[in-house]
Amino acid sequence: MLIRAASCSDADVRHAAAASLGWWTPHDPDSTLWALRALRIDPDVETRRAAVAALARLGERAALNEILAGLTAEEPAIRTATIARVAAEE
């Protein structure tokens, strides 16, 4: 159901799907990773962020590196935004 929702035309539904994935071991890891990687380039910025967070929760190295880059950025605003992004994940 979440995999189908990830390709919905409604950005709010795609965001909810991305935010809901990655909290447990996926039943179908290949489909889950494929869906989240597609959402990583979604037009909606919040959906993209949720997809990266879900991929990081699943241990995808590229997503973890993206978050690490934000945490170690020289620009304080980027570090602060990344910290807020990580803290918002429950």
Q: Which of 31, 55, 30 is nearest to 47 (CA)?
A: 55
Residue 90 has pLDDT above 60, yes or no: no
Q: Work out the percent of the chain whose per-residue pLDDT is above 70.
A: 98
pLDDT higher than threshold 90 for residue 24: no
Question: What's this model's pTM, rounded to 2 decimal places?
Answer: 0.78
Could you tell me what percentage of the chain is helix, strand and coil, using 3-state DSSP and rounding each to the nearest 5? 70, 0, 30
Please give the structure tokens belonging to residue 85: 């992004």
